[in-house]
Amino acid sequence: MSIAIVTGGASGIGRAVATSLVARGDTVVVADINADGAGKVADRLNTLGRGKAAPAGLDVTDAEAVIGLYKSVAAEHGALDLVFNNAGISIGGAAEELTLDHWNRAIDINLKGVVHGVHAAYPIMLEQGSGHIVNTASLAGLVPMPLGIPYTATKHAVVGLSLGLRAEAAGRGVKVSVVCPSFVDTPLLANVNPDLPQTSLSGDAKGDIQKASPRLYTAEKLARDIVRGVDRNQALIVAPAHGRAAWRGVRLNPSAAVRVAQFAVGRLRAGK
């Protein structure tokens, strides 16, 4: 049985991961800025009759709050085995539409939120000589994804952070993985640029996204991929299969990958 924290656990990928962990018998802290939502998820997970769940309200942009939660979980349970730094925000729009508010929000949540989680979890795991940090990036952290470049930039940064930390941590008993899914059918697709200036992709962008990538993966399938990848200590967990194909394509021919991205932009703009 593992002791785990999942941020962004009230919905989408985080909820699905927490469910998979509890289903196999782990104890999971479901952390989310939506404290009520986290509570409802934890209540439901506690009906599964296997592992246990507890809710926690958490704003990942608050570094001290993240440190406080991670330390309290480790102190209460005597260990912190798994940390899923998963909370994120969806940012979309053409480059000329974006304001610094879009950039700053993406950096604060998608990048600094992961930094805060790593900063809080890594010392605990070093002291106990074990643990696994799992950071959620995106396929957008491996391939050129236009029409949302603040999101793309932060996800590339999370990939680099994770792989660099994995190299440092390998000799000290701590494992690090980074998750890079293609488009997943989660509430983020219906809540692009929340509380931010509007762009052509603000609000519910699911239909627009499906014009460029009609095959949306489910959060439940991705959660199974993530848990399996963590158990295998994979450095990069890329899913589904068409996402892995896209990643291979970028590595083989970066220029062609950019042309494919240009084509997707053209399709999307033509549909407006």
Q: What is the pLDDT of residues 96-121, one digit of tens each?
A: 999 999 999 999 999 999 999 999 99
Residue 207 pLDDT exceeds 70: no
Burial 86-119 (b: 16+ CB within 10 A, else e): bbbbbbbbbeebbeeebeebbbbbbbbbbbbbbe
What does the pLDDT look like over 54-64, one tens digit per residue?
999 999 999 99
What does the pLDDT look like over 228-238, one tens digit per residue?
999 999 999 99
What average pLDDT does the chain have?
Answer: 93
217 tagged catalytic: no
Residue 130 pLDDT exceeds 90: yes
Report the largest interatomic distance among the alpha carbons of the chain, rounded to a whole angstrom.
Answer: 56
Res 209: pLDDT: 60
Confidence category of residue 201, pLDDT binned at 50, 70, 90: confident
Give the domain 3-270 fold.
Answer: Rossmann fold (3.40.50)
Residue 186, classed as helix, strand or coil, is: coil
CB distance 189 to 183 below 8 Å: yes
Res 139: pLDDT: 97
d(Cα 125, Cα 169) in Å, to the nearest integer?
A: 10
Tokens coding 180: 């890079």
Res 205: pLDDT: 66
Residue 212 pLDDT exceeds 60: no
- More confident site: 271 or 195: 195
Res 270: pLDDT: 72
Q: Mean pLDDT over residues 79-103, rounded?
A: 97
What does the pLDDT look like over 245-266, one tens digit per residue?
999 999 999 998 899 888 878 8
d(Cα 224, Cα 222) in Å, to the nearest integer?
A: 5
Res 200: pLDDT: 86
Residue 194 pLDDT exceeds 70: yes
CB distance 70 to 121 below 8 Å: yes
pTM: 0.94
Q: Name the residue ranges covered by the structural domains of the chain.
A: 3-270
